Structures are given as structure tokens and as C-alpha cells.
Structure 1
Amino acid sequence: MPADFIDLVPDPEHPRDRLLLGIRHFEEPFLLTVSLSQGLGSSELWLDRGRAGKARLAEFQRVGDRVLFVVRNKHFRTSGDPAAVRAGQESFALSVMWSGPVLREENGAAVVDATGLVLADHDRVADHLAEKEQGEYTVDETRSLPLVADSRTGPAGTRLPALLTFRGPGRGAAVRSVAADPRALTLVQQLNLVRLPADPMPARRFHPGSGGYGIGYADHGHIGVRDTQVKVQPRFRVGPDSAPIVFRVDPAIPEPFRSAVIEGGNWWQEAFAATGLPGAYRVEAGGDDFDPYESGVNGVVWVHRAGRGWSLGQGLTDPRTGEILHARVRLGSQRVEQVRALGEALLAPYGRPDETERLAAVEELVLARLRHLAAHEIGHALGFMHNFASTTHSKPSVMDYPHARLRITDDGGIDLSAAYSSGLGPWDHFLVAHTYGQFADEPTALAQLRDEAARAGLHFISDEDAQGAHAAHADAVPWVTGGHALQALETMMRARRLALDGFSRGVLPPDRQTGELEERAALLHLLHRHEVTAVARLVGGVRYAYGLAGDNGTGAEAADASTQRRALARLAELLRAEQLALPEAVLSALTPPAIRYGRTDQYLDTEAGRIFDPFSAVRAGVTLVTEHLLEPARLNRVAWQHAADPEVPGVGDVVGALLAATWRRPDPVPADVPGGTAVQHTADWTLLNHLLTVLNDNTLHAQVRMELRSSLRQLAAELRQLGASHESGRPDDEEMRREAAELISGFLADPRSVRLDPLPRVPPGAPN
């Protein structure tokens, strides 16, 4: 039997509060990882059960009668002869994280008291809490102790858990919402010391168009020979001589959700079999001894949190080769409630004659989402990145973020039966083939796979290029339903209107307090939010692909002018009162939260006391559009594209389209729109406030700022003229127009003299 990596040495005098270790492997690098097996439970703070921190490269060193615990930066290496290696090691600082005296020699090992080592905040929880503005926390060693009885060791590694209590002010809103006493946060940290494989797996070079994660390091031994940046593809070891990749699912997941997770996770079997690796991968239920923190175990962990939160798939990799040594997936249980709320809001099942059938459709919606979620997060753990361009494929990838695809039936109903796709898409098969395929001539075979994917139109765009204010790719938007963005928006707007017009107490289970109807109304009011993002991405949008300089390809190309103009016109229409006003079916159903209940961040804000505020709903609906079209980076792109091609809409066109639907609206608001004129006025002012706010942004190029100022100056002149002539077409708002003209002129003259309102808050819409 091989010896344990580290000895757990009994300590009869202090069996519970002192941890003795026997160290015999000095200057042997291993991986240091930190997990939390007792979490904090806040979606805002991410300190969850099952959390796995970033791996670091560590080793024990002995200096005289002391043992040092040393961490090195794994992102810097130097290959070559001993002199080159030494130069590399001495060029970058290492970090001594702990030091302790040798108590005695025993069985060829140096025995040390490692209590201080395991009671250190290796996951930097205190720093994380400070960054999240929760206050300054420190480990209180008087209320912390090593969990000696739960420590484990073996030939492959050692696990050292500790109960850590963080002492702090307890004033942060996030910690106050979840902790029993926010002044004392007690978590369980699992310190894992994992040995690197003695027989390193051959590395597969990372290609940016492969869809895989690229991990790596700078090898300064390459200087003068080739690129110092080395990036490899993370992957499990597979093949006839390797054990299968097995993910075990937390028995804490209740049925039928557990079976859905196993079913969805096993979708990847099809791709492994098609790649010539049948039996190389499976997902199965974990037994009573399920322990996701054990080294070598690939676990799918069920995590509970307060609030809307993300799920996560991670792998621990050998930094030399990218070999995934084990992986962990965190599935947030609140996803069940989020998807169920969406289904109930759309179908309003309660109290209907067909309630049973509608509720069955909602339940299947939840299970379909969990199947997809399991496949997605396990895909991350297998080494695959997001692909937010896959809605352009013949079938979307499970590595995309899916929103429920809604179908409008011939009789005007909403059909959820095919809301989420089942099984893998062609991109997912490519991912497995490119990452796990076995080839005699690997570079040639991988290049051929990429060429075939490109010819098949399997576009790949990930993360920063698809999400966030600076994302610009026209075809890569998370949470969209697929197809052409403009058509998808039309479908979602029809579904939104049907659901809002049919709104009733039936959207909520009968045993829930009526204040929650507001949350369901907000969900429907903003149902089109992701399609708005997709259509807005066409304005100033570009298309490009990832690759290497030696690959065939082109640079970034602007979306065509006609599409941009159609997208701009359609988004501007969403600022008309007919689109923004909530129907009477909604307004007449809402009540404030009952006593002992309150609004969460999923609700729309209210400035009407405890009562639902329709004005705030309108302002959020306007901001849904303007936060995209008036984003400074987009306006800068629009200005350049228009300068290069006058057919593409420019900054003045963007502002003009928005004003045409609001301040310059030529027709009266229909009489049947609830609060019609007031709704339109609210939209007008919300847009104007946003336009003036954007002028203060220092990232705008001078020409963009000049065009914005020119558009606003022209608007002010028009408003003065219309207010004086009484020929506005909307004769009820001359005073408002004069006031708006004064506001614009005052701001353009001296921005400091005008108080602008904060931009409205739009409740979070992801994850779905």
C-alpha cells in the first residue's frame, strides 16, 4: 500500500482542538484548494455550500527545525536546464503562508502543530466580505477550531476541515439577511492538499475557437524561442486505460428534480460515444456516503441561498497539463422557484377548470429547465465555455443560456411544451470531439474539426463579448429565445400582452399572500427584456470570430444598415404609452405585501408609499430600452460606423428615433390606454433624464457628445416653439414642454445647476 501523503498524528492531550501533521514530502509541489462545506447562504456574496476557491501551487519546505508552508504563483514557470529553472524561481516572489516548529521526528516524518495553518482564512472570506461592503471581518481563533475527527488523508492527498468564526460589525445588509448573528459568521473551510499526477497527461494546446477553457502560464524559458504564453485545454483523462468520468449527484436533491439532473447530465454520453469513447462518461445518483469534498470525487451539489443566484461548474486542474483531477457543480435550488414563478405567471393556472393540466405544464417546464441546467454546469466542469451565439445554430448548445421559448397557439394561448430544448446540439458534439477525441495527428485533426464547424455555421462567442454593457457582437446575447432577434421580440411581446391581459390572482398559488402578485406582474412587465437586449445589440453591432493569426478569417464587420435601422425603429416604439401601460387586469389585482412580508429586489420600485407605483413601472420599462441604446460604448460605435457608412444610423438618428416616439410623438395616446397621457409623459421625462445623464459620461468621444448636445439643443428649440404656438398636436402639455426646454438649456449651460434623477432600477432578470 502506498504511504499517505501526510500523516494525521494522534494527539491524546488535545484530541479535539489541536491538529498534528507528519510531513515527509518536502519541496514537492501540490495543489492547494479551499472549499466551504458550511456556507453563508447569500446569493449576493457567493460564499455557498460547495464553493471551491481558486487552486494554488504549494509545497512544504524545511528550514532547520521549522516547517514552512509556501505558495508559488502557478502562472509563472521557467523550463530548461537547472540554471534556467533557478533563475525563474528566484525572479518571482513566493509566499510563506504559515510556519511552525518541528515537534519531533516520527516514522520518517516531521511532526508539526498545524492548527494555525488550518485556522487561516485561505479562501480570503474576510477580503471578500470587505469588497462586498459588508464590513471588516477577521477570524476569531477563540471561536474557531480544526475539525480533527473529520480530517482525511491518503496517498493522493489530504483534507483538513476547520470551523472558522469571522468576527465583524454585522452591519452589512447581505450578512444581516442570512446570518443568525451577523457579528459572528461561522463557516466550515475544507483545506485540500492534492498531489499532482506522477505521470502527467499529454497537454492539448488551447485554441481560442475551440469552445474550451484556456488555462496556462508564462514560461520564461521560451524567451527568444517562441511565445512565452502557454495555454492548454482543460480535460479529464480518458481512454481505454483510464477510469470513466463519473459525476455523482447529491442525494439532497429531492425527486423528481434529482432524476431530471441525472437525465440532463447524461446527455453528454451521446457525444462521448460519437467521439469513440462509449462508457467514458456517466452521471449517477450519489449514495448515503456522498462526499463531494473528497479528492477525486466529481460531485453535483445542491445549494440553498436567499435570493436569485447562479449555478456553477468548476474543475480542479493540473496547471502543467490542464488535466482535470476532479470537478464540482453547484446547482442553486432557488432555480426551481424562479422557473415555476415564470410558468405560473404565464399560464395563471390556479382556479381554472383545466388547473391540473396547466400545473402539469408548469412542472414539466421546471424539469426541462433542470435537465438543461445540469447539462450546462457539468459541461463547464468538463472544460467547456459558454457559447452565446448558439441560437444561430440548427439547435442551440446546452452551453448557451436559454430562456423559455414561448409559442402562441392558434386560439391565442401560450404553449410551454417545447420551452427548453432536449439533448445536445451540434456545437456540443464538436466540444467533446475537439476536447476528448483521440487522434494520431492531433493538430491536423483538430484543425479539420474547427474547419468543419465553421463551414456548418457553428458560431462561437463567449462571456465578455456577449454579456455586459460593452458587449458588441450582434448574434451573441444570453437568455434569448433564438431565431432572428426582431421576430423573437415580436413573439415575446405577443406573449407578454396575452399574459398581462389575462393577469389574475390565478398566477399565484392560493395559499400565498397577495402581495406577491406584484412580483409576478413585474416578471411579465419585463418579460421581453432579453429580446430588447438582442435587438439593441444590432444597433452599432458587429460580427467577428475568435482565432489565431494563421487561421482564415476576417476582422470585425458592422451589422448591415437596414437591419440596424429596423432594430432602432422597433425599439423606439417600445417607448410609446400603448407598450408601457399596464392593463387594468394587473392594476386592479395588486395589493401591497401583507404585514410580516416585504418587497424584494425582484419587485419594481415604488414611490407611492406601500402601494404599487405605475409610474415606476413605466420608468423601468423605458430604461429597459434606453440603458442599451444610450450606453456610451454603443454610441461611440454608432458614431464611427456612421462616419464610415452614412447609411448606418448615427448618434443623431438614435436620439431622433427615441424622441419621435416620445416628445415628438405626433398622435394622441388612445383613450383606452390606462393612464395614457400620464404614461406617455412619464416616458418622455424618463428618456430626457437619461439623455442628459449620458452627457455627463466621460467615456463619450467629443464628437458623440457634440451630436448629443446638438440633438438636445434642437429639441429645446422645438419645445419652446410648440409651447408658444399651441400647435403641438398634444395641446394638454404646453407647460411641460416649456419646462423641459428650460431644463435642457440650463443643463447645457451648466450641468452643475441641474439636479437629475437617478436612473430607474430595473429588477434583475438573470439567472432564469
Structure 2
Amino acid sequence: MKRLAVLPILLILCTTLFAQHPSIREKTQGFTQNEGFFTYYWDEVEGKIWLKIDHFNHEFLYVNSLTAGLGSNDIGLDRNQLGDNRVVYFERRGPKVLMVQPNYSYRASTDNSQERKSVRDAFARSILWGFEIAAEQNGAVLVDLTDFLLRDAHHAGRRLGAGDAGSFSIDKSRSAIYPEGTLNFPKNTEFEATLTFTGDKPGQEVRSVTPTPQAVTLRQHHSFVELPDDDFRPRPFDPRAGYFSIRYQDYSTPIGSPLSKRFITRHRLRKKNPSARISEPVEPITYYLDPGTPEPVRGALLDGARWWNQAFEAAGYQNAFRVEMLPDSAHPMDVRYNMINWVHRSTRGWSYGTSVVDPRTGEIIKGHVLLGSLRVRQDYLIAEGLLAPYRESALYGDDNPMLEMALARIRQLSAHEVGHTLGLAHNFAASTNSRASVMDYPAPRVSIGADSTLQLEGAYDTGIGEWDRAAITYGYADLSSAPAPADTLNRIISSVLDRGLAFISDADARPPGGAHPQSHLWDNGEDAVEQLDHIMEVRTIALKNFSESTVQTGTPMAKLEDVLVPIYLFHRYQIQAAAKLVGGLHYSYNVRGDGQPHPVPVADSVQRNALGALMGTLSPQTLTLPAHIIELIPPRPPGYYNSRELFNSHTDPAFDPMGAAETAAHMTAELIFNRSRAARLVDFKARDINNLGLGEMLDTLMVHTWQAPPREGYQGSIQNIVNHVVLYHMMQLASNKNASSQVRAIMNLKLEALREWIKNEAAEEAPTEQRAASLLYGYRMLEQFKEEGKILPPTRPMPPPPGSPIGNDSPPFLQCHFH
């Protein structure tokens, strides 16, 4: 019996003995040790990274990113692209170590530990990974980090398989640690891995940029970063100041006070001498330019980014903002470096400014800009279309107006994206304040000379604007010696308002449904209608001058269409600006007591003037391409394939001039028939019978399209196309389930009136075959709509090629700021 009693004890002792972990020293024999923020060991034989963890429940910042990308704007996996950043900590639970992400969206800012715990336990945390302890020594443990580093932290597989491209997943046999990008420093530890994603149904976007589309190899980066100290004072968010923000709910807030706390995102910046009007900073904000940027773009990017020093000087600093070239020894994803990256893609697209932000306070730890390299070439293309420069006498050396315009845009773009990484949001109303901000999207300003020549001098502005100076002062002025910081910030905002500087950002500006009459993308000037008239005149001159001299000698003539697209559609953004006046609403991000006016509809006369200008863009005369242009453009030769940059066509392989007119008419009609705009017109008319209403707008549209005197020939065909485009959009809005009942009621009333008009018109006139066909088509569509309540069959007008003078109408998964 005694022997039997001893047996369990022996089993427990043996189990405990065998369960003990080896020491870290024993486990890492033969490995390469790297000390820094975290100590890690590199096992070259097994290709593994082992991480030493000697601090538990100690928060740090974890950031994932890409260092080698796909090169596709549409998919969006760019070189040096930032991913997620989050606060995490390691927590030991028995034989495991968990990587835990606390929930900083819900907090209790109190000294009461139980109150903090009650909030912490009320909302979920996220455990990002679990590690098995492999060795242990003096309270520290060793874990295998390899699988954590080789997982798809950036969600690249999901984007590679978007649409019908099937499923992409990591092939571990073709993935490995990348030692060249695995580095260690006192305050940050950097890891990098080569990941190969495999899939059996790669989509066209993947096929276009990979040598073997079934195997896509990228590089993924992971950063473990020491969090900043507590010596950063968050600055309150003010909706009028133009900043991005962090937000969280603070459950220790007294009842009656706002539960949500908002603070702007900004870099840490302090004066050496806070009481001095002008002082050098304790530490300047320094950005570094990608050394892979070629000249002359390199010089332009440096110049544009350095403009921000003007704003910091206005905020009371001397030499507070610097831009230098990244040293050859530095890694662009090292969190210590604010970066301006020059990124190549197979197609043009957006640039954007992102940031690594401490979610606890809003402090920007790393500003990170990605600039698409093809944008400069698109501006050059637009300038070629405007100037038709390649005549025999035109030789360009250093004095090249196309290059100067393109570089001027790049300077502005550099400043714009850096502005996002300083914390600033878009200000799309700045163009109405004499280009008061680089945070607007500027259109090239084209002037018309006395001899009707187009001139590009001053196409883009130079330097930081008045709004930018004020915004930087709000975010970065040193308030440490201010007796009442809140009063100081309010005075800064009051000064902005007193100067009439408007601020309206993304949600209120982007088409098709924006309502603010000053907030537009890619526009110039205070008066949107006046500017539309000017743009249409520029367009007319450019089309008149368009010739084979628009492309260089030796270029296939079919390439003329590439240059024609942005010129024929040169008005596409100004019609967006003019359309916002119709059913437009003046308003601001006002707060109680600031004296700003309350929302008020745009003056009726302004709305009617804008509607008249929009009708001009639907005129057959406006949409008719000059015969000499049509005769110049042949089908594409071998090796020069169609692309999305060209007009969609009904006449392939031939160029389709009437298809181009259909596209342009579609752009205007889509804006006019926006359901929110239509509902505002109904509302404004109901509140003031003298206002332009939806019914009157439709009557005006009918007078300029279906009921206009019929034309013959080429312009007659374009007139019919415009009529069909208008009819399509009318029926779309009338059947839109998300439109208000009053909008749908008025639309159906006007459609029935149009049906009756067509019936009577066809009976009274003796139309040409072309006119008769158009009337019959419209009548039958309306008859079907009357019976079925929907379009049968749907005939959607052809959409325009990508635009945003430089970029696409739809950004990739990241917005400009992240923008």
C-alpha cells in the first residue's frame, strides 16, 4: 500500500520535471541575438524569429505595413503602404502568452481603479495572437514569433481575391522571414517577411501586374514601437478648425457633460522658449523624401513639402519643419522617420497621406505620404491637349510649359499630402477664398490671351495659403504659457471667421449629391457659373486647336484619343460645382455663440443661372466634335490596346464621337437628377413659392432637350442621344425606391406629360427618319414605364473614363488622408 501511495507523487514529480522549460540561454544556443526595444533571436537554420518577452501587461504600439507592393491602383496594395496601428500588450496565461489589444474607444478617466475596471470589463478586448512558451529565464519567456510574422496581417489576400478573382491564401512553402528588413533600435523593433499568395482564379487586375498571376509575392512589415511618454497634452477638436480627430467615450464624465471626447491628431511640437513670440522648437518635425524619386520630381517634392515651414512660422516657430532626403541606411517603414514615398503603379490613381497615431491621445508618431508617380504624367498630358505644342517650330528645352505645369502640380500635391499627415483634413471651400489652402483639390487655372491663345502661367498656386496658416496655428501653437488655452484657441477660430475663411470638407463636397455652393473639387474662382462659362470657352479653343501637333512626331495617330479625353471632358468638374448651386444650401460647421449664419438656400436667381449654364453643357453644338478631330483618329494599331483611359464606344474598333457626346451628357444629367438635390428643390419650393422647384427644373430641361427645335444631321443625332440620356435619368429617379414620395410623384407626372407631348408631336410634325425613330423609342420606353413602373430594357449611358484630373473618381481602400 505504501508503494502505491508513493507512485502518484513520483508521477507528479516526473511530469513537473519534464514540463519545465529550458532556459532562454539554452534554447538560443547558435542563434543570432539582436537587442533593442525587444530582444529577438534569429535562427537561420530553421528560418525562425524567437522573441524574448520580459515585460508583461506593458503597452506598446503594433503597426503592420507593406514594403513591397503589387503595383495596382485598383487593388490598392502599394509599396510602403501603412496598415493598421493599435496599442497592444503581452499577457501571460499559464503556458501561453497572449497579445491583447485593449479597447480605447471606451474609457473612464478617473483615479478610481474599480470604476476603470467596470468600463474595461463592459466592452470587449481583442486577443490578436496566442504564443506557446518555448523557454523561460529570470521571469522572461521566449516565444516563436515566426507564424505571427508570416500571417496575412495586411489582409492582402482579401483584396487580391476581390470581385470574382477567387480566393488567395499564403503559401508557407514560398514565404519566409526577410532579414534585410528585420532591424532593432532602442525604441522600436522592426520585422519583415516575404509572403507569397496563391490562387487559381486571378482577376485581370492581378494578371496585369504579376509575372505569374497564380503566385503573388509581397513583403509585409511589422513594427513594435515604444509608446510616447505622458508629456503630450491632447488638443480639443473643433469642427471649424479643419483637423482629423480621435474620439472615445469617457464614462467618468459627469452627467450633463458630453460623454464623447474628441481631440485632434497632431505631431508633438513645443517651443524652446514658450514665452517668446518666435522660438525654435525643442525638436523640429522632420520629413524624409524617398531617395528613389528622380529629378526633376525630387526637387519639386522637396520644395512643396517645405512650404509648410511658412505655416509654422505663422504659428510662432523658427525652423520647426524640415524636409530632407532619407539616408541610405534608413528603412522607410522605420517608425522614427516621417516619409514622403514616390510609388509606382501600372495605372494612375490617388496619392494619400496617412499617419501612425497614438489612439490614446491623438499624437502623430509617424507621418507617411504615398505619391503616385503617374500623376505628374497626367498633368503633362492635359497640358499637351491644351497647347497642341508639337509644331515644327516648337522645341522645348528648359523652357517647357507642359513640364512646368506638371511640376507645379507636384509641388502642390506634396504639400497637400504632407498636410494630411500633419493632421489636416480637406478644405474644399478654399478655392472660393483665393486658393486659401493647399488642402483643396486644385484644377489647373488656364487663362485666355488677347489672341485667344491658352496660357498656363500660374496654373497652380505656390506656397501655403491663409487657411493653412490659421489651421496650423490652431493645432500647433505652443499654449504652455497661455493663462487660458481654451480662450486662445477660440480667438484663433474667431480670427478665421472674421476673415471670411470658409472650411467645408469631404462629406459635403464630393459629388453627386453635395449641397454646399462653395465646396467643390477641382475648381477655381468664387463664382461657379462664371467659371463654368470660362472653362467651356477654354474647352472650345482647345478643341479648335486640337490637331496632330498635340502628339509628338512618330506617335501613332490613334494616341490622339488619349489626349482628347481630358480636353473634351475638361468641364467635368466645373459642372459638379455649378450643379451644387441648384438646390444648394449655404451653411457652415457653426457652433452656438460663434455668430455664423444659419443654413439658408442658395438665392433663387443663382440657382436659375446655374441651371441655365448646365443646359448649355447639353447643347448639341457643345457636344459636337469638330470634323477635323474625328478624321484624325484611326483605330488602335497592334500593341496599343484599348484602356479605361479612353472613351467607351459603340463603334469598336472605330472612334465613336457620338459615344463621347453620350458620356458627356450622362455626366451632366446624373448630377441634375440626384435624388437628394431633387428633394431639396421640393422642400425649398414648398417653403417659398418663388423658389426654383423640381417641376420647374424639369420643365426647363424639357425645353432644352426633347422640346427644343429638332436639328438635322450629326447635331440631330447628338440631340437624340441627349434626349435619351435625359429620359433614362428621369425614369431612374422616378423609380428610385430611396427617393422621397414627393420626388417620385413629380417625376412620374412629368414623365406622363412627356409621353403625351411625344404622342402629339409625332402626329403633328413630319419628322425625318432619325427624328421619328427617336420619338418612337422615347414613346415606347415611356409606355413600358407607365405599365411596368421600371425601365424595360435598361439602357444605361456609357460612363466617363477615370477623371479627377489626376486620379480616379473612386479612391482605393484608403482615402486621401487616413486619410
What interval of TM-score do these two structures reach, taking the shorter chain for normalisation?
over 0.9
Contact 1:134 1:174 in 2 (8 A): no
Q: Distance in 1 between matches of 2:654 and 2:559?
A: 13
Task: Return the offset for 1:357.
Answer: 7.6
User: What does residue 800 of structure 2 align with?
Assistant: 762
Contact 2:710 2:716 in 1 (8 A): no
Structure 2 residue 175 is matched with structure 1 residue 135: no
User: What does residue 429 of structure 1 align with?
Assistant: 469
User: What does residue 646 of structure 2 align with?
Assistant: 603
User: What does residue 245 of structure 2 align with?
Assistant: 214
User: What does residue 539 of structure 1 align with?
Assistant: 582
CA offsets per residue over residues 385-407 of structure 1, 9 Å max, x none? 10000012133310000010010
Q: Distance in 2 between matches of 1:133 and 1:194?
A: 38
Residue 356 of structure 1 aligns to a residue whose secondary structure is: coil
User: What does residue 760 of structure 2 align with?
Assistant: 721
> 1:633/1:552 Cα in 2 relative to 1: closer, same or farther (>3 Å)?
same
2:149 to 100, 118, 129: 118
Percent sequence identity over aligned pairs? 32
Deviates more, 1:362-371 or 1:717-726: 717-726
Map 1:226-625; keep pairs closer than 5 Å.
226-241=257-272, 242-356=282-396, 360-439=400-479, 440=482, 441-625=484-668
Q: Distance in 1 between matches of 2:100 and 2:136?
A: 21
Residue 607 of structure 1 aligns to a residue whose secondary structure is: coil
Structure 2 residue 45 is matched with structure 1 residue 6: no
> 1:492/1:358 Cα in 2 relative to 1: closer, same or farther (>3 Å)?
farther
> 1:180/1:735 Cα in 2 relative to 1: closer, same or farther (>3 Å)?
closer
Q: Distance in 2 between matches of 1:213 and 1:752?
A: 43
Normalising by structure 2, report the TM-score.
0.90
Structure 2 residue 775 is matched with structure 1 residue 744: no
Task: Return the offset for 1:715.
Answer: 1.4
**What letter matches 1:611 in structure 2?**
A
Structure 2 residue 712 is matched with structure 1 residue 681: no
Task: Return the offset for 1:213.
Answer: 0.9
Contact 2:494 2:594 in 1 (8 A): no
Which 5+ residue runs of structure 1 have no aligned equivalent? none
Residue 226 of structure 1 aligns to a residue whose secondary structure is: coil
**What letter matches 1:725 in structure 2?**
E
User: What does residue 81 of structure 2 align with?
Assistant: 51
**What letter matches 1:407 in structure 2?**
S
Task: Return the offset for 1:341.
Answer: 0.6
**What letter matches 2:61 in structure 1?**
L
Q: Distance in 1 between matches of 2:314 and 2:116?
A: 43
CA offsets per residue over residues 313-333 of structure 1, 9 Å max, x none? 112112222111111111110
Normalising by structure 1, report the TM-score.
0.95
Q: Distance in 2 between matches of 1:598 and 1:149?
A: 39
Task: Return the offset for 1:132.
Answer: 5.1
User: What does residue 194 of structure 2 align with?
Assistant: 163
Residue 34 of structure 1 aligns to a residue whose secondary structure is: strand
Q: Distance in 1 between matches of 2:167 and 2:291?
A: 36
Q: Distance in 2 between matches of 1:642 and 1:760?
A: 33
User: What does residue 22 of structure 2 align with?
Assistant: none
CA offsets per residue over residues 670-720 of structure 1, 9 Å max, x none? xxxx81211211111221122122222111111111111111111111111
Residue 678 of structure 1 aligns to a residue whose secondary structure is: helix
Q: Distance in 2 between matches of 1:445 and 1:209?
A: 15
Q: Distance in 2 between matches of 1:552 and 1:444?
A: 16
Residue 92 of structure 2 aligns to a residue whose secondary structure is: strand
CA offsets per residue over residues 488-543 of structure 1, 9 Å max, x none? 11111111111111111222233433322112111111000111000001001112
Contact 1:98 1:116 in 2 (8 A): no
Q: Distance in 1 between matches of 2:346 and 2:399?
A: 25
Task: Return the offset for 1:128.
Answer: 3.2
Deviation >4 Å, runs of 4+: 130-133
Residue 469 of structure 1 aligns to a residue whose secondary structure is: coil
Residue 191 of structure 2 aligns to a residue whose secondary structure is: strand
The higher-RCO structure (CA 8 Å, 6+ apart) is: 2
CA offsets per residue over residues 726-756 of structure 1, 9 Å max, x none? 278x896245324422321221221357212
Contact 1:5 1:158 in 2 (8 A): yes
> 1:196/1:511 Cα in 2 relative to 1: closer, same or farther (>3 Å)?
farther
Q: Distance in 1 between matches of 2:249 and 2:199?
A: 39
Contact 1:723 1:735 in 2 (8 A): no
CA offsets per residue over residues 230-279 of structure 1, 9 Å max, x none? 11111111123531101111111111111111111111111111211111
**Alignment RMSD (CA, Å):** 2.0
Q: Distance in 2 between matches of 1:192 and 1:426?
A: 37
User: What does residue 104 of structure 2 align with?
Assistant: 74
Q: Distance in 2 between matches of 1:512 and 1:732?
A: 38
Deviates more, 1:511-520 or 1:199-208: 511-520
Q: Distance in 1 between matches of 2:398 and 2:36?
A: 57
Residue 474 of structure 1 aligns to a residue whose secondary structure is: coil
**What letter matches 1:67 in structure 2?**
V
Contact 2:732 2:791 in 1 (8 A): no
Q: Distance in 1 between matches of 2:402 and 2:791?
A: 53
CA offsets per residue over residues 549-577 of structure 1, 9 Å max, x none? 45433432110100001111111122121
**What letter matches 1:692 in structure 2?**
M
Contact 1:349 1:359 in 2 (8 A): no
Contact 2:149 2:222 in 1 (8 A): yes
CA offsets per residue over residues 563-607 of structure 1, 9 Å max, x none? 001111111122121011111121011112211221211111011
Q: What is the number of residues matched between the two proteins? A: 760
User: What does residue 91 of structure 1 align with?
Assistant: 122
**What letter matches 1:252 in structure 2?**
G
Task: Return the offset for 1:475.
Answer: 0.8
Q: Distance in 2 between matches of 1:149 and 1:683?
A: 59
Task: Return the offset for 1:133.
Answer: 4.9
Task: Return the offset for 1:484.
Answer: 0.7
> 1:76/1:3 Cα in 2 relative to 1: closer, same or farther (>3 Å)?
farther
Which 5+ residue runs of structure 2 have no aligned equivalent? 1-33, 273-281, 807-819
1:192 to 223, 230, 233: 223
Contact 2:249 2:259 in 1 (8 A): yes
Residue 418 of structure 1 aligns to a residue whose secondary structure is: coil
